[in-house]
Chain A
Amino acid sequence: MRQFFVFARKEFYHIFRDKRTLLILFGMPVVQIVLFGFAITNEIKNAEIAVLDQSRDYYSNRLVQQLQAGSYFKIDQELQSHQAIEAAFKEGRIKMVVVIPPKFGESFFHLHKAQVQLLADAGDPNTATTLINYARAIIGNYQQQLNGPQAMPLTINTTVRMQYNPALKSVFLFVPGVMTLILLLVSAMMTSITIAREKELGTMEILLVSPLPPAMIVTGKVVPYIALAFINALVILGMGVWLFGMPIKGNIVLLLLECALFVLTSLGLGILISTVTDKQQTAMMASMMGLLMPTVLLSGFIFPVESMPLPLQLLSNVMPAKWFIIILKDIMLKGSGLRDIWPQSLVLCGMTLLFVTISIRKFKIRLS
């Protein structure tokens, strides 16, 4: 046992001596959370639009003012002709063009019907849809104003309640996501690289002929990373709670236990990767392409799983991250207890066992 501690201490020295990596290891989650929390939003503000006002009367002018009044649109330019529209879009700044045909006021009051045309740059489909929705709402209000206080018959009022996240903060989704990502990065990627490194440099051979059994060597190598991963998890949780007011409605002990479980799962994965590769570059590429990218994309952390094609939805079930994110979100935002999340926890336990078993069977004590 003493030998084991000495070995683990050696690993700690390795990590702490490398100040740059350490800085990034702790700096990264902080920077990511801050960026996600403050900078990345889907809420549209000040979208630049262009106006082609062909009637240029009092009423069309007021409509343009109304569009500009809220925080949604900013009028970037006024176009003179239909030909100018395409060129304006090609410049890449404006997202929508509002076309008001001639005689807007006249047709509204005399024909009881006026027209407005919205042309959106659907290169980004969701932004286009959202902008059109906003513009329609503003135009609808303007129509009400022009008609005066006369109430519309048969009006349906819809009240909307945003459950669990009233301010629509993306941070609530990103905190669990970033946490998962960092835990995977530290536990799976770093461990696989550090073991592959011993192989690449040839020092693995020296370790294998030492009196330590192989299982001890591997455990000794991963222990420091468990500690690092855990500290990182705490930092992220702390930032989520104190900086962004993310609630932890459930039991915090349960939350930490689940984190520990996920760290074990990722370590299993990392060890597995390192047993099948013996070059750092390959280990890195395998963890990045095979683990981190799919985690970001398939775990439902950025993109909703429901809109993916069925094969990918099925594939997403193989990602440990998906289950962990569900657990995190349920405990933090909904206050679920073990009774609600045992199936997901069981899946993670099963995966851990599987990874460790395969690694043990694949582990070669000879180098060639």
Chain B
Amino acid sequence: MRTIFFILQKEFLQIFRNRGMVAIIFLMPIIQLLVLANAANYEVRNLAIDVVDQDHSSWSQRLVNKLTASGYFKLHRQTFNEKAAFEDLQLDKADIVLMIPRHFERDLVREDKASLQLLVNAINGSKAGLANGYANNIIRSFNQNIRMEWLALDSRNGPAVIEVTYSNWFNTRLDYKVFMVPGIIVVLVTMIGAFLSGMNIVKEKEIGTIEQLNVTPIHKHHFILGKLIPFWIVALFELALGLLVGKLVFHLPMAGSLWLVFLFAAVYLWVMLGMGLLISTFTETQQQAMFIAWFFVIIFILMSGLFTPVENMPHWAQVLTWFNPIAYFVKVIRMVLLKGSGWANIQIYLLIMLVYALVMNGIAIWNYRKTT
């Protein structure tokens, strides 16, 4: 026990002696959280719209006003000339072009139908999808309004309607940051766990000091624990720091119990530390270790549902996420913080993490013995 304590002391001294490291531990998370939470924003607003209004009627004017008043669209250019609008689309100056043909109002009145055309710059597929959805919704409600007015419909005589009301739970203002901040905290914690721990052991190998440690009476498991525990503590500290910044700056809701988050993180971190350890057992240089860790972490992050929901993926990819520790943590931290899920809802995930932690560390320690 005393041996571990001394190794811990050495490790902490080494961490805090390195100024770069101290900056990474204390400053980086705050800066990252502030920058990332603002940058990682899929909220689509202020889309630049070009309107080619060849009708110039009162209804076409009203439609344009309704679009720009919605907050989703910003009028970039209103013109007669289709070419100018196409050019804007081509040059990325406009995200969407609405074409209102000549006699739009007249056709509506006389023939009971008229058509509009929307051209969407679809290079960014998800943005285009949302833009199209917003525009169609606005046009539909515009349609409803003019129909009511024109026919002065008495709801008893006209066609029957299904009235759809909706409400957004757990995030009534549809604040995207509330969705992203917990995920970004997961990424921060993961970086510390997976990268720094592995690199730290490899560094001893690369510099050659591991030989010196090997000839001391330190047991292997003492050495491993001594290497991993400091980063476990640092990562849990990061989690607290991240949650604090989230609370103070982004008003992150904390509906559930914070203890659950920390409990889950404590187990989750052993999976990540185990991964770092495993990588360190079969690499020789820090460059290699960093590279391999980066490769896996980036895949884990992309497939974790942090940016795009897991449910949207094809089935084979969803099966892969069962083996992705980051996916579990992202899911659990969002469930607990945003919805207030409790012990009963997350215990199964905690169990899975526990199994992964044991397996990962088991393999790593076994492999470690073999190679040194």
Contacts and interface: CB of A to CB of B under 8 A. Distances in A.
Contacts of A36: 302
Contacts of A80: none
Contacts of B303: 35, 39-40
A128 interface: yes
22 contacts: A20-B283, A35-B302, A43-B125, A90-B339, A113-B163, A122-B169, A128-B171, A130-B133, A136-B137, A146-B160, A147-B160, A155-B112, A156-B143, A158-B117, A160-B136, A165-B123, A170-B125, A173-B124, A285-B20, A294-B35, A297-B39, A308-B41
A188 interface: no
Interface of B: 18, 20-21, 24, 28, 32, 35-36, 38-48, 89-90, 92, 108-109, 112-130, 132-133, 135-137, 139-140, 142-143, 146-147, 150-151, 155-156, 158-172, 174-176, 178-179, 199, 203, 206-207, 282-283, 285-288, 290-292, 294-295, 298-299, 302-303, 307-309, 311-314, 317, 320, 331, 334-335, 338-342, 345
A173 B143 CA distance: 34
A152 B159 contact: yes
Given A117-B166, A159-B117, A281-B21, A20 B339 contact: no
Contact of A165 (B122, B140, B143, B155): B122
Given A43-B312, A90-B339, A157-B114, 14 more contacts: A20-B292, A24-B292, A32-B299, A91-B345, A117-B165, A119-B167, A122-B172, A133-B136, A136-B137, A152-B147, A156-B139, A162-B132, A165-B125, A306-B46
A253 interface: no
Interface size class of A (residues with CB under 8 A): 35 or more
Interface string A269-297: 00000000101111011001100011001
Contact of B116 (A130, A150, A157): A157
A108 B162 contact: yes
Contacts of A18: 285, 288
Contact of B312 (A44, A135, A140): A44
A95 interface: yes
A124 B113 contact: no
B340 A125 contact: no
8 closest A-B pairs (Cβ-Cβ)?
A: A122-B168, A42-B126, A168-B125, A162-B122, A39-B317, A118-B166, A125-B174, A122-B171
B107 to A, nearest CB: 10
A211 interface: no
A75 interface: no
B159 A333 contact: no
Contact of A147 (B108, B123, B159): B159
A245 B342 CA distance: 46
A164 B121 contact: yes
Contacts of A150: 159
Contacts of A32: 298-299, 302
Nearest to A135: B164
A154 B143 contact: yes
B309 A124 contact: yes
Given A90-B339, A125-B175, A153-B112, A165 B162 contact: no
B311 A39 contact: no
Interface stretch (A45-53, A256-264, A351-359): A45-53
Nearest to A97: B169
Contact of B164 (A28, A116, A170, A303): A116
A139 B143 contact: no
A161 B161 contact: no
A159 B115 contact: yes
A132 B166 contact: yes
A157 B335 contact: no
B122 A154 contact: no
B93 to A, nearest CB: 12
Nearest to B151: A153
Contacts of B287: 21, 190, 193-194, 197, 280, 284
A151 interface: yes
B129 A168 contact: yes
B118 A160 contact: yes
B161 A126 contact: no
Given A193-B290, A281-B20, A113 B35 contact: no
Contacts of A158: 115-118, 135-136, 139
A312 B38 CA distance: 8
B122 A114 contact: no
A130 B130 contact: yes
Given A162-B122, A193-B290, A89 B309 contact: no
Contacts of A293: 32, 36
Contacts of B282: 20
Nearest to A122: B168
A281 B25 CA distance: 13
Contact of A108 (B160, B171, B345): B160
Contact of B342 (A90, A123, A126, A147): A90
Given A48-B311, A303-B40, A329-B123, A154 B286 contact: no
Contacts of B136: 133, 158, 160
B286 A42 contact: no
B108 A46 contact: no
A18 B288 CA distance: 8
A158 B116 CA distance: 5
B167 A163 contact: no
Nearest to A85: B169
A31 interface: yes
